[in-house]
Structure 1
Amino acid sequence: MEAFRDILSFLRLAVPSALMVCLEWWSFELLVLFSGFLPNPKLEASVLSISLNTLSLVFRIPSGLGAAISTRVSNELGAGRPEAARLATHVIMALGLVSSVSVGLAIILVRNLWGYAYSNEKEVVEYIARMMPILAMTFLFDDLQCVLSGIVRGCGFQKIGAYVNLSAYYLVGIPAALYFAFVYHLGGMGLWFGLTCGLVVQTVLLLSITLRTNWDKEALKAKDRVFSSSLPVDLAT
């Protein structure tokens, strides 16, 4: 039963953390569903599926950075080293910026060839080539938000992060995507561009949270969580 001793404290962090990820990825999956209502649903769904797959592929880089900084920040705060947590935050943000720009440039350079990895149809390949610069811009913000989300999780701000993702994607991103696609008649590019607007809002909000973080205060909170969830002496020995 000692394994479940702090299960409620764990769930208070785990559930909002899962929501942070789910709320973001559900919104991208919705784009493919919405593409079925566009004038040429077969083409639009194909291109958006390829775009989503491409973004998922390159997303593994910031995903690793986000997981690393989440662990590093939480460990440093729990050990009572706020300055080390702040330094790690600065380093990972620099790495995130470098990786986002590098991968974004690579996406743009292969834009005329990437479609052939998925289809031999000229219409699909040309559409993908037009989408790739938007994908590059999307990855720029997606990379940064993934790193910032890792920092937020490491600080224990999962609930705030969940609210940020909810507002950014479902109050800004999805409505903007529908507006660009069905009012301005931009098709799949409009759907993707609208969701990128949500990504921009998410990145700005997470960045403001990170910049306003009181690292000394969060280190004290983290140490309190560590001591409150420590194992009994007989089990620890």
Structure 2
Amino acid sequence: MDSSQNVDVNQALLQPQADHGTVPSHGELERVLSDVETPLFLRLRKATMIESKLLFKLAAPAVIVYMINYLMSMSTQIFSGHLGNLELAAASLGNTGIQIFAFGLLIGMGSAVETLCGQAFGGKKYEMLGVYLQRSTVLLTLTGVLLTVIYVFSKPILIFLGQSPEIASAASLFVYGLIPQIFAYAVNFPIQKFLQSQSIVAPSAYIAAATLFIHLLLSWLAVYKLGMGLLGASLALSFSWWIIVVAQFVYIVKSERCRETWRGFSVQAFSGLPSFFKLSAASAVMLCLEFWYYQVVVLLAGLLENPELALDSLSICMTIVGWVFMISVGFNAAISVRVSNELGAGNPKSAAFSVIIVNIYSFTATVIVAIVLLACRDVLSYAFTDGEKVAAAVSDLCPLMALTLVLNGIQPVFSGVAVGCGWQTFVAKVNVGCYYIIGIPLGAIFGFYFKFGAKGIWTGMLCGTLIQTVILAWVTFRTDWVKEVEEASKRLDIWSDKKREVVSE
């Protein structure tokens, strides 16, 4: 977040507002917040109404997109679970132990597009958005080739990590069918960030909703009618993701709303890749460490006594947490766009105000959901499996699940702020310390040394999340937003030079 370069902040502050597409005038919010002649209460009330309108045009469709995308994976796990407890454990391990590895890495690398596209859009440098999209897709596809090796050797990897050979064998079969999904991720995440940075989110929501119905039909046919079992379930999921990718790309090419930001394929996509990789790698490390963190819970659970019951109960809880987490991920996407757009447009007060409003909305939503889930704790697991022992274990873990949901109401928002500002390297360091130096060791101590089992593992890791959230909250609310405008202006100057290869920040 520190800078060694000088910039004229006045130029950044006076930069014209983005009015492309259907984005409301962000400059109105800055004018309201800067109007010292209006009483504070009236100022805040009007600013809240403006911000809420801007926010929910982004957040509501984004929440729908992420929840439906996650629901596709969740439904695949449900189809697998009704084949038997072994199949549920295998699908859970494949989804949470292997697939989330690729998901975290690729969505993390894709968040570099979120930073650059959001700030370029706010600064009216529309032609660069398509270039950033293509550069990111090239990098993510190359990364996908490397990830394929992990998928192919998933069985020995899982056995090496201590999983039982029977579960590892079944999980590897499930994972083989997810290989095409890797490359769907590689294309989808840059497209998703490209559209979100322009506040174009509703089309993705419509596409995701339509694909969900197709996916459920395909899964039913593959698992029950064609008898393809675990492999059929995962292949159906991969195919469904490619439907989303193709539909979104067709929208970009055909839509008038993307006319200025998508100008066709360009050789610039292959220029400056090493420098672009550095920013993508920092983004990947930041988000991967978050996605992989709870993956470790499931992997550690496989080392406990009666690993099948521990895996089943924890994976059900983590699946529910992950689904509800998509609410916060939607707000994460919204705040990232809001902050990056406002910084790119030179509106520091608007960026700061948006952070506060988004936190309030996200926290309130997750608290409500946590209360509902606690009320339904005894019946939650029956959506996944008919086992009574699993139901009792899930009910026992529900209080920890509720605490996790409440904490997740604000933590992803601060991560979104980090992406919007380009703080990925700093947050990656915080994540390493809180998650992997504090959280995981505490979880292992509570789970194995003190013999608290799955509850102990989860409790220790929840401590790491709490510390990380407090640190990010402290940093965010002490941020000099005028200085962040300067940083955004410099970043745009560096990354929008189209006549020569991009240089490193």
After TM superposition, is the score higher than 0.5? yes
Q: Quick one: which of 417, 434, 443 aligns to 1:177?
A: 443
User: What's the C-alpha RMSD, in Å, of the aligned pairs?
Assistant: 1.6
Q: Give the conservation status (yes or no) of the 8 Å contact 1:101–1:140.
A: yes
Percent of matched pairs sharing the same residue: 37
Q: 2:461 matched to 1:198? A: no
Structure 2 stretches of 5 or more lacking a match?
A: 1-266, 500-505
Q: 2:483 matched to 1:217? A: yes
**AA at the equivalent of 1:121:** G
Q: Aligned partners of 1:73, 1:5: CA distance in 2, in Å?
A: 27
Q: Aligned partners of 2:434, 2:300: CA distance in 1, in Å?
A: 18
CA deviations 1:88-142 (Å, max 9, x no partner) are 1111111121112111112211111101112222111111111111101011112
Q: Give the conservation status (yes or no) of the 8 Å contact 1:107–1:133.
A: no
Give the C-alpha shift of residue 170 in structure 1: 0.3
SS in 2 for 1:152: helix
Q: Select between 132-141 and 25-34 the one with higher mean Cα deviation.
A: 25-34
Q: 2:277 matched to 1:11? A: yes
Q: 2:342 matched to 1:83? A: no
Q: Aligned partners of 1:4, 1:212: CA distance in 2, in Å?
A: 38
Q: 2:28 matched to 1:28? A: no
Q: Aligned partners of 2:368, 2:276: CA distance in 1, in Å?
A: 37
1:163-174 superposed matches below 5 A: 163-174=429-440
**AA at the equivalent of 1:201:** I
SS in 1 for 2:335: helix
1:73 matched residue in structure 2: 339
1:94-173 superposed matches below 5 A: 94-173=360-439
TM-score, normalised relative to structure 1: 0.92
Q: 2:268 matched to 1:2? A: yes
Give the C-alpha shift of residue 232 in structure 1: 4.8
Q: Give the conservation status (yes or no) of the 8 Å contact 2:367–2:409.
A: no
CA deviations 1:64-89 (Å, max 9, x no partner) are 11011111101111111101101111
Q: Quick one: which of 325, 337, 343 aligns to 1:59?
A: 325
Q: Give the conservation status (yes or no) of the 8 Å contact 1:104–1:140.
A: yes
2:196 matched residue in structure 1: none
- Structure of greater Rg: 2
Q: Aligned partners of 2:366, 2:274: CA distance in 1, in Å?
A: 37
Q: 2:302 matched to 1:45? A: no
CA deviations 1:172-217 (Å, max 9, x no partner) are 1100110110121111111111111111011111111101211000
Q: Aligned partners of 1:32, 1:229: CA distance in 2, in Å?
A: 40
Q: Aligned partners of 2:341, 2:274: CA distance in 1, in Å?
A: 20
Q: Aligned partners of 1:232, 1:38: CA distance in 2, in Å?
A: 55
Q: 1:72 to 1:8 in 2, by over 3 A?
A: farther
Q: 2:457 matched to 1:186? A: no
The structure carrying a bigger helix percent of its residues is 1
Q: Give the conservation status (yes or no) of the 8 Å contact 2:359–2:409.
A: no
Q: State the number of aligned residues.
A: 233
**AA at the equivalent of 1:32:** V
TM-score, normalised relative to structure 2: 0.45
**AA at the equivalent of 2:476:** T
The structure whose RCO (Cα within 8 Å, separation 6+) is larger is 1
Structure 1 stretches of 5 or more lacking a match?
A: none
Q: Select between 5-14 and 141-150 the one with higher mean Cα deviation.
A: 5-14
Q: 1:151 to 1:78 in 2, by over 3 A?
A: same
**AA at the equivalent of 2:305:** P
Give the C-alpha shift of residue 157 in structure 1: 0.5
Q: 1:141 to 1:76 in 2, by over 3 A?
A: same
CA deviations 1:6-33 (Å, max 9, x no partner) are 5455333321211122112222112222
Q: Aligned partners of 1:94, 1:6: CA distance in 2, in Å?
A: 39
Q: Select between 6-15 and 166-175 the one with higher mean Cα deviation.
A: 6-15
Q: Aligned partners of 1:66, 1:6: CA distance in 2, in Å?
A: 28
**AA at the equivalent of 1:69:** I
SS in 2 for 1:111: coil
**AA at the equivalent of 1:67:** A
SS in 2 for 1:143: coil
Q: 1:232 to 1:40 in 2, by over 3 A?
A: closer
Q: Give the conservation status (yes or no) of the 8 Å contact 2:324–2:366.
A: no
Q: Give the conservation status (yes or no) of the 8 Å contact 1:66–1:146.
A: yes
Q: 1:214 to 1:21 in 2, by over 3 A?
A: same
